Structures are given as structure tokens and as C-alpha cells.
Amino acid sequence: MRFRPEPALPHGTPERTAVLLVNLGTPDAPTAAALRRYLSQFLSDPRVVGVPRLVWWPLLHGVILNTRPAKSAAKYASIWMPEGSPLAHWTAKQATLLQGYLGERGLRPPALLVRHAMRYGNPSIASVLDELKAAHATRILVLPLYPQYAAATTASVNDEVMAWQHAQRRQPELRFVNHYHDDAGYIDALAARVRAHWMQEGRGDKLVLSFHGLPARSLALGDPYHCECHKTARLLAERLGLAKDEWLVTFQSRFGKARWLEPYTEPTLVALARQGTTRVDVMCPGFTADCLETLEEIAQEARAAFLGAGGRGFAYIPALNDQHEWIAALAALAIRHLQGWEIAVPDAAALEAQRLRALALGAKT
């Protein structure tokens, strides 16, 4: 075993704690070349594609990476921001804001650092962990920006972190947040986002909660993702006071010919329009930052399908992005998981009481 060289740290350098936010990833540019690099890494992950490599490799490198990058690049170009990739922009902003929110609670640099990384693309998990180790972060909380656990997302992040850890002579202490699909702060943030949209734009006939899909066999294999999506949706509907016929759960982003988690989002929207539903609001609770799957697949493609089938009004409710309630929920979540480490962590019970008081004051105003 060959270990990575240790950073040269002056004697007496104080130990630090870090929070690492991790999102899925994004190409560096909306070009075919950038998409080819990104898709090659993404679709080579056995957590993402479970097909045996002898079968998958010729298809990936002989067909998919020669045809799909140009098509995907055109889709990315349609949602690209002046600041760059929406996912990269919002993820970086969430990390910056989280550092500030934690600082307001007494957890400030240099004692506590907040950074972000991407599972695929840049900044890579390994490069950011190298940066944190060079800053003498000896305790790292890994917080994926996936509220619902899935082997294809959360577990893949954990794999990548542990692969980096395996090459370290002096290993930092690690903690992982696996899921927070039923976290009160997260549900409150989703509810606040929906209410704000309804106040500004009006309310549709039905709220469609679209989650990223997975192959249907993942449920039979023991992945809790399907159940956690439904629990998130149920808690959100309860928080909004919705009747059972006023909301539904769907799954998007199907890839390949295999059966995926159902019902599928776009066919469901088409069926709703043909059955007489005139206006829908669509939200993607599993995406904490807007990205290709929300801005292009839902706000563009799904919208066109619903209106083309006879619907009259389609509203996409944006992801949590830099919403105050969401960053506050992230801060509370991080603080709960930082308990016991050698930093001045506010009492979790007191923090929860503070959050509830703030909600009560907001309701009164």
C-alpha cells in the first residue's frame, strides 16, 4: 500500500473541523467535449449503472459517449446561467451561506470550515478533501445534498470519500449524513417554498411532486429511496393541509428500456391534462438545487407535454436553492451531527426551540 504524502503543517497547527456538502455534479461547460468527460465518469460508476462491465463498457464507449454528449450539451445550453452551471452556482452559494449561518451560531472559521464538492466533475471530492487536510481539518462531516438515501447517490458519495480515505496515512475522523427526508427543517423549507409560490402566482388544481427515478428493481433489492420519497411527499402534503386528491408523487429521468419507479412524471402530466386538469404546480423535492433535471426536463419538456395535451397552466416551483429556510435547516442538520466534536457547538435542543419560535413568529406576521 502506498499512501499519499502528508501535507507539511507547522508544529502546533490547530486542528479544525469541516462540513463538506456534496452534490451530484455537472459538466464544466455546455459543450459536447465537456459532456463526454462528465458522462464518462458518471456512467462508469457501478452504483449508477449496475450492468456487468463486460456488457456495459462496449455500449458506453462504443455508442453512448459518441451520440449522447452533443444532445445533452444542447439541453445544458438551454439552462446555462451567466454564472455557469445552475447546479454549480447554487451548490457553491449554499456552502457560502451555510458557513455564514453556522458562524452566526458561533461556529466560525478557522475552527469550522464549510466546503462543497461534486461526486462527478469539479470540484472533485478528492481535491476538496485534499484542501481540507492541508488546512488541518481532522474531523470532517460529509453532508450529501440528497435528502432521500439511494445507493446510486448517497452511497456513491460515501464510496468516493472512503476511497480517498483509504490512501491517507493520517486519516481524519469522518461522519456521514445518510438521509434527512423527514427532517422538520427540510419539510418546513419545502412548505415555505410552495406557499410563497402560491401567494405570488396562484394555486394550480393539483400539486405534482416529482422525484428522480431509479430502476424498479432497486426497491426489491432493499434501497429505501422509494419509501423515503413517499414519506417526504406525505409530510409536505400534511404541512400544507392538502387533501389526498390534491397532490401526487411521480418519478422522472428514466434512462434505458428497463422498468423504473412509477408513475412516470411526463406521462402522468399528459394523462392529467387529458382527464381535464387545467392547471398543475410541479415541484421536485429531492433536488435541493436547480439543475438540468428541474430546469430543462420539468420546466421545459414536461411543461410542453402538459400544455400540448390540453392543459392550460403549468407552474414549476423552484428548488430550495438559497432560500433562507433551507439554509437554516442545513445549519441545524449540520449542528446535530457535529455534536461531541471539539468545537463550541450550540445545544441541539436549544437550537430546535429557537427554530420553532422563529416559525411561530413568522406565522403571526
Q: What is the pLDDT of residue 258?
A: 86
Residue type, 22: V
Residue of 121, 122, 96, 118 lying closest to 109 (CA atoms): 96
Q: What is the pLDDT of residue 187?
A: 98
Mark 67-87 as b/e (b = at least 16 C-beta within 10 Å).
ebbeebbebbeebbeeeebbb
Q: What percent of the chain has pLDDT over 70?
A: 94
Q: What is the pLDDT of residue 365?
A: 43
Return the half-sphere exposure (C-beta side, CA atoms, 13 A cut-off) of residue 252. Answer: 24
pTM for this model (two decimals):
0.92
Quick: pLDDT tens for 208-251. 999 999 999 999 999 999 999 999 999 999 999 999 999 999 99
Residue type, 106: G
Q: What is the pLDDT of residue 324?
A: 98
- Residue 4 has what DSSP assignment? B
Q: What is the pLDDT of residue 207?
A: 98
Quick: pLDDT tens for 113-167. 999 999 999 999 999 999 999 999 999 999 999 999 999 999 999 999 999 999 9
Return the half-sphere exposure (C-beta side, CA atoms, 13 A cut-off) of residue 141. Answer: 22
- For residue 126, count CB atoms less than 10 angstroms from its CB and return exposed for 0-12, middle for 13-18, buried for 19 or more: middle
- For residue 58, count CB atoms less than 10 angstroms from its CB and return exposed for 0-12, middle for 13-18, buried for 19 or more: exposed
User: For 184-317, which CATH class?
Assistant: alpha beta
Ranges under pLDDT 50 in the chain:
365
Q: What is the pLDDT of residue 358?
A: 59
How far, in Å, CA of 171 to CA of 162, rounded? 10
* Vertex 108: Cα angle to 103 and 113 (nearest 5): 110
Q: What is the pLDDT of residue 344?
A: 57
* Vertex 79: Cα angle to 205 and 322 (nearest 5): 70
Q: What is the pLDDT of residue 338?
A: 97
The CATH number of 16-177+328-345 is 3.40.50.1400
* Parts of the chain belonging to CATH 3.40.50.1400: 16-177+328-345, 184-317
**Strand bridging mode 16-26 / 173-176:** unpaired
- Residue 96 has what DSSP assignment? H
Alpha-carbon distances of 317 from 47, 103, 267, 305, rounded to whole Å: 30, 30, 19, 17
Q: What is the pLDDT of residue 139?
A: 97
Cβ(18)–Cβ(132) below 8 Å: yes
Question: Would you say the C-alpha torsion 80, 86, 87, 89 has a positive or negative sign?
Answer: positive
